[in-house]
């Protein structure tokens, strides 16, 4: 393991004709961590990752992967990284096990192919030509191909897209194991739960730039606060409730009898609300505190839904 970051992107700019896909993007990924890159469609995620993989050259800025230039030093870098490709570029007649054995043979210390196939539920389709695999099986094979060489750093493009729940779990377990083995993982995803489950760090990209980054906990803590919801009889006097609450708290009746408070929701606020309810003869049917999720953060920052 070298010193410095496993992946370092500084001021990356990438244009397609007149279209600026990546617009001064900075990114630093520490060794042995899982980083999830989130962003709406067209944000520049794939372009960034493909530049890190050496498939595209930057128009401006620098990219270093394991300390190497992914284009100029591709021959040295390729054996040390794993790349999960989407179906394009695969010879459709190749059989799943052949492809994995071939990829394994290119690396000095590969994983055992049979075990890996079983892990990812591919044990029964080793002799199946690629074109006859289901979409989910192709996806699992792409994941297996990315990791079979026991890379130091692996790029995973939407690793669980299109997988059934069981295969999704298997893919997540594999990512956790890679991390436990000290592998650096950079994944793109549209699934907030995947990022929340797997990532040490989340990077949100929009308009070709990083608009937020940090651990899921940090991102969910910052910015707007949590909310408290309760249900009671319709038409409660919210102005009187607000008088009892700290400045900066907002209250709304979202639906008849459905109330939401936003602000610094802490135990004291909860106690004040229940005490106000007692004084006003209100027995809430339900009361809950909701924490901000990554999806909330994403919506606030980008104004767009997380899912494609
Ligand atoms: P998605 O979530 O949809 O995969 P993304 O964040 O990966 O999106 P990119 O694929 O990097 O986004 O695309 C960024 C922008 O660059 C988009 O506006 C896209 O239309 C454009 N773009 C991407 N590839 C090309 C290309 N080969 N030629 C021209 N424009 C492109």
Q: State the burial class of residue 6 (Cβ atoms within 10 Å of its Cβ: 0-12, 13-18, 19+).
A: buried
Query: Is pLDDT above 60 for 262?
Result: yes
12 CA to centre of ligand 1 in angstroms: 15
Q: Could you tell me if 212 and 244 lie in one domain?
A: no
Strands 184-188, 34-38: pairing is parallel
Q: Could you tell me if 158 and 273 lie in one domain?
A: no
Q: Could you tell me if 196 and 158 lie in one domain?
A: yes
CATH number of the domain where residue 274 is located: 3.30.70.1560
208 CA to centre of ligand 1 in angstroms: 10
Band (92; pLDDT cuts 50, 70, 90): confident
Query: Is pLDDT above 90 for 265?
Result: no
Taking only the tens place, the pLDDT of each residue in 162-208 is 888 988 998 999 999 999 999 999 999 998 889 999 999 999 999 99
Q: Could you tell me if 172 and 249 lie in one domain?
A: no
Taking only the tens place, the pLDDT of each residue in 107-124 is 889 999 999 999 899 999
Q: Hey, what are 148's tokens?
A: 């079979």
Query: Is pLDDT above 90 for 264?
Result: no
Domains held by the chain: number: 2
Closest C-alpha among 119, 124, 120, 117 to residue 103: 117
Q: Could you tell me if 157 and 252 lie in one domain?
A: no
- Do the domain assignments include residue 154? yes
Q: Which range in 27-36, 86-95, 119-128, 251-260 is most confidently predicted, on average pLDDT?
A: 27-36
Q: Could you tell me if 256 and 278 lie in one domain?
A: yes
Q: Which residues line ligand 1 (CB under 6 A)?
A: 16, 19, 21, 39, 41-47, 308
* pLDDT (0 to 100) of residue 308: 39
Whether the full predicted model's pTM is greater than 0.85, yes or no, is no
Across residues 215-233, what is the average pLDDT?
Answer: 82
Across residues 286-294, what is the average pLDDT?
Answer: 86
Domain final position from 220, 247, 279:
220
Q: Could you tell me if 157 and 243 lie in one domain?
A: no
34 CA to centre of ligand 1 in angstroms: 23
- Do the domain assignments include residue 168? yes
Q: Could you tell me if 24 and 81 lie in one domain?
A: yes
Angle at 43 between CA 293 and CA 70, to 5 degrees: 110
Measured between alpha carbons, how far is residue 155 from residues 54, 124, 177 in Å?
12, 26, 15
CATH number of the domain where residue 71 is located: 3.40.50.300
- Percent of the chain predicted with pLDDT > 90: 70
* pLDDT (0 to 100) of residue 272: 96
Closest C-alpha among 253, 265, 254, 193 to residue 226: 265
- Do the domain assignments include residue 304? no
302 CA to centre of ligand 1 in angstroms: 17
Q: Could you tell me if 131 and 216 lie in one domain?
A: yes
Domain final position from 220, 248, 277:
220
Query: Is pLDDT above 80 for 292?
Result: no
* pLDDT (0 to 100) of residue 219: 86
Q: Hey, what are 201's tokens?
A: 């760090």
Query: In 10 A of CB 288, how many CB atoms?
Result: 10
* pLDDT (0 to 100) of residue 1: 45
Q: Domain limits at 283?
A: 225-291
Query: Is pLDDT above 80 for 307?
Result: no
Q: Could you tell me if 87 and 182 lie in one domain?
A: yes
Q: Which residue among 20, 36, 45 is best mutated to probe the pocket of ligand 1, counting the most ligand atoms within 8 A of its Cβ?
A: 45
Q: Could you tell me if 126 and 186 lie in one domain?
A: yes
- SS3 assignment, position 210: strand
Band (87; pLDDT cuts 50, 70, 90): low
Across residues 138-149, what is the average pLDDT?
Answer: 92
- Do the domain assignments include residue 119? yes
Mean pLDDT value across the chain: 90
């Amino acid at each position: 393991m070298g010193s410095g970051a496993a992946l370092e992107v500084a001021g990356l700019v990438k244009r397609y004709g007149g279209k600026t896909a990546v617009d001064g993007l900075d990114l630093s990924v520490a060794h042995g961590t899982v980083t999830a890159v989130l962003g709406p469609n067209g944000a520049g995620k794939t372009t960034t990752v493909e530049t890190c993989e050496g498939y595209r050259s930057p128009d401006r800025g620098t990219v270093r992967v394991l300390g190497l230039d992914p284009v100029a030093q591709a021959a040295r870098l390729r054996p040390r990284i794993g790349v999960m490709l989407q179906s394009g570029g695969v010879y459709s007649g190749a059989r799943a096990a052949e492809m994995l054995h071939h990829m394994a043979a290119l690396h000095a210390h590969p994983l055992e192919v049979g075990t890996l196939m079983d892990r990812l539920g591919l044990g029964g389709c080793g002799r199946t030509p690629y074109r006859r695999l289901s979409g989910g099986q192709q996806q699992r094979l792409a994941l297996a191909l990315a990791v079979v060489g026991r890379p130091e750093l692996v790029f995973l493009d939407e690793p669980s897209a299109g997988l059934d729940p069981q295969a999704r779990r298997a893919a997540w377990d594999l990512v956790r194991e890679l991390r436990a083995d000290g592998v650096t993982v950079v994944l793109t995803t549209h699934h907030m739960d995947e990022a929340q489950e797997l990532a040490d760090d989340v990077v949100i990209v929009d308009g070709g730039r990083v608009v937020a980054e940090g651990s899921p906990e940090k991102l969910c803590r910052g910015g707007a606060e949590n909310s408290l919801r309760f249900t009671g009889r319709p038409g409660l006097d919210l102005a009187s409730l607000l008088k009892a609450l700290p400045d900066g708290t907002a209250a709304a009746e979202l639906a008849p009898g459905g109330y939401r408070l936003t602000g610094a929701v802490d135990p004291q606020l909860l106690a004040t609300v229940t005490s106000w309810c007692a004084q006003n003869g209100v027995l809430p049917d339900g009361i809950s505190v909701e924490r901000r999720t990554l999806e909330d953060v994403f919506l606030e920052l980008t104004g767009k839904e997380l899912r494609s």
